[in-house]
């Protein structure tokens, strides 16, 4: 059995209002475009989540809102406050409670970069991978029958992309 993870860092957020609390920052225009591009890219490759584990921050929710229209079906959206600025151990704990074959997780740096690095058996050659820039998306497979079995070094890389590398 195989489980697939689509791991996405939120798209570019706005800093227009310095008084906006971090949790409530929206996407800027570049971020909105990037989220839509990611949705089209995922759909074109058949990477369609059945369940979305998403930080409850506004920018992660808006990233999902930008991705979702391009995807067929209606994945289950689970807002997870624990994913807001979560470290890798918390992210793994949340993932281990997933219940779909293809799960998308939308989170934040710096935790998501370390999480991705620790999950993969072999990292992608993309020089941007260690930085995991905004909108970065990893698609990886685990040879497991249940997400409770997910562990460090257990994921095989399928694809890694950042929005500006998606062909127009």
Tokens (6 digits) for 83: 């994913």
For residue 51, the surrounding DSSP H or E stretch is strand 51-54
pLDDT of residue 65: 97
Q: What is the CATH number of the domain that holds 70?
A: 3.40.50.1240
Other CB atoms within 10 A of residue 1 CB: 9
pLDDT of residue 167: 84
SS3 72: coil
Question: Is 78:125 a contact under the CB 8 Å cutoff?
Answer: no
pLDDT of residue 143: 98
Angle between helices 58-67 and 29-45 (to 10 degrees): 50
The residue segments making up the domain with residue 72 are 3-165
Q: Residues of the chain whose pLDDT is less than 50?
A: none
CA distance 4 to 6: 7
pLDDT of residue 64: 98
pLDDT of residue 73: 87
Q: Which of 5, 28, 43, 13 is nearest to 166 (CA)?
A: 43
Question: Is 133:126 a contact under the CB 8 Å cutoff?
Answer: no
Model confidence, pTM: 0.97
Q: How many domains does the chain have?
A: 1
SS3 71: coil
């Amino acid at each position: 059995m195989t489980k697939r993870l689509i791991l996405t860092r939120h798209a570019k957020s706005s800093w227009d209002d310095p008084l906006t609390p971090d949790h409530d920052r929206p996407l800027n225009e570049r971020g909105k475009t990037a989220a839509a591009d990611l949705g089209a890219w995922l759909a074109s490759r058949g990477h369609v989540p059945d369940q979305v584990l998403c930080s409850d921050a506004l920018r992660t929710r808006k990233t999902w809102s930008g991705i979702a229209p391009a995807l067929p079906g209606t994945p289950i959206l689970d807002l997870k406050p624990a994913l807001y600025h979560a470290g890798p151990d918390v992210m793994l704990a949340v993932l281990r409670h997933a219940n779909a074959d293809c799960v998308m997780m939308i989170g934040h740096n710096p935790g998501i970069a370390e999480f991705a690095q620790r999950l993969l058996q072999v990292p992608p050659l993309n020089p941007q991978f260690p930085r995991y820039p905004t909108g970065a998306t990893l698609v990886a497979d685990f040879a497991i029958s249940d997400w409770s079995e997910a562990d460090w070094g257990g994921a095989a890389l399928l694809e890694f992309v950042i929005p500006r590398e998606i062909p127009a």
